[in-house]
Amino acid sequence: MDQSLALSVRDLKTHFVFRNSTARSVDGVSIDVPDNRTVAVVGESGSGKSVTSLSIMRLLAAPGRIVGGEILYRDRAGTVTDLAKASDAQMRRMRGSEIAMIFQEPMSSLNPLFTVGDQIAEMITLHERIDRAAAMHRVVELLETVEMPAAAKRVHDYPHQMSGGMRQRVMIAMALACRPRLLIADEPTTALDVTIQAQIIDLLKRLQSRYQMSILFITHNLGVVAEIADELVVMYAGQVVEKGPVASIFAQQRHPYTKGLLAATPNAALAATGDERRRLLAIPGSVPPVTAPRTGCVFAPRCGYVTPACRTTHPALVASGDGWTRCIRHEVLSHE
């Protein structure tokens, strides 16, 4: 594992095995997250983004299970652990203290029966030997760090007494309670209005600099990617179809799916072309079921660049420009 990486996911396969079928939700995914950098993972619903993040955290619900690959995590001491093979006890120690996660909808993650202060304090006392008074003092400091208004009073509030933006700040405070090295943010701004989204993105960038942590940012919004990420990973039907530096991919897409996503994203499309009159274009069709048999390129049925060879050849992820793509016609796209 490269010394500059906090996380290296290698050929990860996560399947949901049913009586009569197998859903290959994550089918050979490889992602590297460098120290103190942000890697964004994008794709439509059903592309495998969230299952990838849950696999890393080992929070998969049955019948889901990791059936192949490695999830290599390097802690601050330099020790590398394969999370795919770690024991349940190891994972309980690492969740929160080494790797933390922010979920898309705070109300489904926060307990409505306890104050937000009690819930954050529980995270601290779970990993550190301090008394309740010291933990509550830390809670107030954390809420101030995430710019919660009237933090000393808000610790006594219940989740339903807060706005969506405030609840997301509570989730960020909880995730940062033990100063993790790696933060996984699973669509943390999706349920928020545009103004609050911008505030949360700015907050995450400031906190990343303050705590020197790496971020794996899961989203379907390429406009958000442009604001926060250094590297971009594009997923489709459980596979990585393109990855590389954000600026490079925005300037030149080497997979038809990435090109389609940008064409369908208002802010990203305008930023990529500089043309304010550009029409938004939808990608025809939908993501295929993860239980469907796979022959050839999984994107072929929706692709405007498809050839007969695309329907029979399963493309490998190959180097292209300063990134990687899973398309046998990437050289054609690179010259457009």
Tens of pLDDT, residues 145-198: 999 999 999 999 999 999 989 999 999 999 999 899 999 999 888 778 888 888
Q: What is the mean pLDDT of residues 279-287?
A: 82
Domain with CATH 3.40.50.300 in the chain: 5-98+180-334
- Give residues with Cβ within 8 angstroms of 200, minimum separation 6: 165, 168, 169, 172, 188, 189, 192
Could you tell me the two tokens for 183?
């933060």
The rounded distance, in Å, linking the Cα atoms of 27 and 174 is: 31
- The fold of the 5-98+180-334 domain, in CATH, is Rossmann fold (3.40.50)
Q: How confident is the model at residue 279 (pLDDT cuts 50, 70, 90)?
A: low
- Compute CA distances 126 → 13, 131, 134, whole Å: 31, 11, 13
Look at the block and give the residue holding tokens 């072929």. Answer: 300
Q: Are 238 and 49 in contact (CB under 8 A)?
A: no
SS3 of residue 212 by DSSP: coil
Q: How confident is the model at residue 281 (pLDDT cuts 50, 70, 90)?
A: confident
Look at the block and give the residue holding tokens 């596979």. Answer: 239
Instruction: Please confirm whether the linkage preceding 63 is cis (ω < 30° from 0).
Output: yes
139 φψ region: left (φ > 0), alpha (ψ -120 to 50), beta (else):
alpha
Q: How confident is the model at residue 272 (pLDDT cuts 50, 70, 90)?
A: very low
Q: Are 158 and 170 in contact (CB under 8 A)?
A: no
Tens of pLDDT, residues 52-80: 999 999 999 889 999 999 999 999 889 99
Tell me which residue of 240, 145, 211, 244 sits closest to 6, measured CA to CA: 211
SS3 of residue 332 by DSSP: helix
- pTM value? 0.92
Q: What is the pLDDT of residue 87?
A: 96
Tens of pLDDT, residues 183-236: 999 988 877 888 888 899 999 999 999 999 999 999 988 888 989 999 999 999
